[in-house]
Structure 1
């Protein structure tokens, strides 16, 4: 199947309307009928603001990078990106063409 691989980048503690942003975005995608999404927690990283985000021994809750990934069709990708725009979320994302399938026996 042909589609889109859409990846959003944020930090673990980023919030939207009082909820963790990655959890909020996953829930919105689920409500939109997007078949699945995954959040991946990084060990460390930095972005456009050049600030290193990492978890250290002395921190109880780190603010590490989160990568939120979806495999979806073009229409779903457009709807999700429109939601991000409507909600005025300042998120970096990568959108690329993808071929994907599920080999069920």
Structure 2
């Protein structure tokens, strides 16, 4: 079964409607009935401001890079893309074709 992997790259400090963006997005995808959503916190990275954020003890950052990943059928991903584009003011949104080996039961 083919699907789409939606990846959202944002800063840990990003917010949507006053909430941490990664928490807001997890709730959003759950409300929309997606198969699952995973949030990954990076150890180091930089974004649009070119400032490096890291877990290095000497340069400890509380604003680490965060990636939110969602995999589902193309129609479902494409239907929420306009919302995602509105939500993510500073960040990167990517789409990738994937082969879904097993779809979780609902």
Partner Cα distance (1:53, 1:6) in 2 = 23
Moved >4 Å (runs of 4+): 58-61
- Counterpart position of 1:16: 16
TM-score by length of 1: 0.84
Partner Cα distance (1:89, 1:99) in 2 = 29
Count of matched residue pairs: 104
Partner Cα distance (1:59, 1:42) in 2 = 15
- Counterpart position of 1:83: 83
3-state DSSP of counterpart to 1:6: strand
Rate the CA distance shift 1:86–1:9 in 2: closer, same or farther, 3 A: closer
Deviation sequence 1:29-81 (CA, Å, 0-9, x none): 11111110100011110123211112343788710000110111111111221
Partner Cα distance (1:103, 1:78) in 2 = 18
Tell me, yes or no, if the aligned pair for 1:56 and 1:62 is still in contact at 8 Å. no
3-state DSSP of counterpart to 1:39: strand
Q: CA RMSD in A?
A: 2.3
- Unaligned 5+ runs, structure 2: none
- Unaligned 5+ runs, structure 1: none
3-state DSSP of counterpart to 1:22: helix
Worse-superposed segment, 15-24 or 53-62? 53-62
TM-score by length of 2: 0.83
- Counterpart position of 1:52: 52
- Counterpart position of 2:70: 70
